Chain A
Amino acid sequence: MDFWHRIMNIDRRWIYLLIAISVTFPMIVVMKFPVRVTPETRQLYDAINNLPDGSVVMLTFDYYPNAAAETEPMSVAALRHMFKKNMKVVTLSNIPLGGPTIAERITREIAAEYHKVYGVDYVNLGYKANYNAVMHGLANSIESIFPSDYTNTPLKDLPLMDSVRNYNDIKFIFVVADNATVDYWIQIVNAQYGVPVGAGVTAVVAPKMYSFVDAGQMTGMLGGMKGAAEYEKLVGHEGKAMRGMDAQSLAHLMIILLVIVGNIGFFVTRKKDSEKS
């Protein structure tokens, strides 16, 4: 077998090894290329920044744990931004596998850094089934859908919820999602109840969100780990997303190289095989 045929039939585990090296190498040799902010991220950041200090906002944890590498930095950066502006944060999750647990852990962790008090500065409502019904139900009364928070404390015992009854009391909804729930926040909550919605989404979902941003249905968007890195830069707190950008760069270059080599090999071997036959 000649060189190109060997290359084309290479064991896939060598490719796995190349990817593993391209992801780990930048952690040892740090390069730190500058992260530039895209207009969509800037739009979302400005939307939160322009809200008066102390406003009530909703932050949703609508992502499965498997997407946490992209979405957790977004949630963390969003919380830091909101707490810096002394905003009152109401969190919830529409994801039955892990969403409310992740929401509880992250909000308490970040709130502790900013000395925020649970029940006064932030509340985690938890999870309720059927996100369509939940989104509609919150428009009437939050308490009708969530009689208590995630840890079973009745809402009437939480001072923050005295002044937050439904969407009329919420100034902005920051959705962090890895699936279609963000579509429903837009088409139900933004369209029917007029609450501004912005979202941080995984890179798989991001291309679709451009239509909503363009139509004005969504106020800004974070797309994938790069979007999270941009938001971290704007908030002024380097986190996992910014640290991961070097690895992202090298891995992308490696995959582009693999595609180029694969195509060259394809055309060369195809030509050789047709000459032989």
Chain B
Amino acid sequence: MRKTVPVIVAFLSGFVMVVSFFFNPERTFIGGGQEAVLQWVTIVSGFTLVLGVFSIVRVNARAVARRSKGWFYKLLTVVSVFAMAIPAMLPVSKNTVGGKIFFGIFPDNWGTLFGTGPSSIYDWLFTYVDQPMMETMFAMLAFFIASAAYRAFRARNAEATLLLLTAVLVMLWRVPMGEAFLRLFSDSFPQYINMFVMNGFNVAVQRGIIIGAALGAASMSLRIMLGIERTYMGKG
């Protein structure tokens, strides 16, 4: 029962999508059903995103309570979660029941600070604190890739040499200075790189990978719908 019902639900949920491909939803019975299923899926999927946050708060809060190593940093994490989440969840106007109660206590003009709209605390924290840090974390990869290229990118054999030469050629072609350098050899050199390297060899390999991966995805999807693949359910 604990596994049978989910398998049936998975099959039906997917079956609606498969059938609606063959029957035009606008003109057949499937139309309203497909629309409702998709609406429900977007709602339920939203809750899955928040699941991880609960986990993070629980793990970090326990570490803070136990005063384990680095507990102060974990406290920062937990405080940051609430600093972002709570203002976003507060009402923005008196139009709701909660809003009437809330703005009965607090001034009306505080409404712009709450919710997720522009000029809210949520928006400000994201734009001026979270986003710059996110961009910086990934910007550091430039240093790491340079260091890795220096230490590990070796022309040890013919295949590696081919990979290295192609990488160098593409790195030159993709920048104006490099393209100007390549044009010293021939005006059409950049065009041939685009044509034969990117639209030739690259397309061929990418296409092979796309086809292979798509075949795998299709077969895995069928296995899930037919209940053969049940690992997503977890143990128990």
B46 touches A129 (CB 8 A): yes
Which range contains the number of A residues in contact with the other chain?
A: 35 or more
A152 touches B (CB below 8 Å): yes
From A49-57, A81-89, A169-177, A203-211, give the one contacting chain B.
A203-211
B130 touches A65 (CB 8 A): yes
Give chain B nearest CB distance to A80 CB in angstroms.
20
Chain A residues with CB under 8 A of B39: 137, 144-145
Known contacts A98-B126, A259-B168; is A245 also within 8 Å of B175 by CB? Answer: yes
Annotate A56-72 by CB proximity to B: 1 below 8 A, 0 otherwise: 00000000111111000
Chain B residues with CB under 8 A of A34: 176, 180
B203 touches A210 (CB 8 A): yes
B42 touches A137 (CB 8 A): yes
In the assembly, what is the distance between CA of A207 and CA of B199, in Å? Answer: 9
In the assembly, what is the distance between CA of A12 and CA of B145, in Å? Answer: 11
Q: Nearest B residue to A20 by beta-carbon distance?
A: B143
Chain A residues with CB under 8 A of B194: 38-39
B131 touches A (CB below 8 Å): yes
Q: Nearest B residue to A68 by beta-carbon distance?
A: B135
Which range contains the number of B residues in contact with the other chain?
A: 35 or more
Partner of B127, one of A39, A105, A139, A150: A105
Annotate A3-23 by CB proximity to B: 1 below 8 A, 0 otherwise: 000000000100110111001
**Secondary structure at chain A's binding surface: helix, strand, loop or mixed?**
helix
In the assembly, what is the distance between CA of A259 and CA of B168, in Å? Answer: 9
Q: Nearest A residue to B92 by beta-carbon distance?
A: A152
Known contacts A33-B177, A144-B38, A226-B175; is A15 also within 8 Å of B150 by CB? Answer: yes
A256 touches B168 (CB 8 A): yes
In the assembly, what is the distance between CA of A83 and CA of B234, in Å? Answer: 50
Q: Nearest A residue to B167 by beta-carbon distance?
A: A259
A240 touches B (CB below 8 Å): no
User: Contacts A34-B180, A36-B190, A254-B146 given; 18 further ones with Cβ under 8 A?
Assistant: A15-B147, A19-B146, A31-B177, A35-B176, A36-B176, A66-B134, A100-B116, A102-B131, A129-B43, A134-B38, A144-B39, A151-B118, A203-B174, A210-B206, A214-B203, A252-B178, A258-B150, A263-B155
> Which 6 A-B pairs give the minimum distances between C-beta atoms?
A249-B177, A33-B176, A130-B45, A129-B45, A66-B138, A129-B46
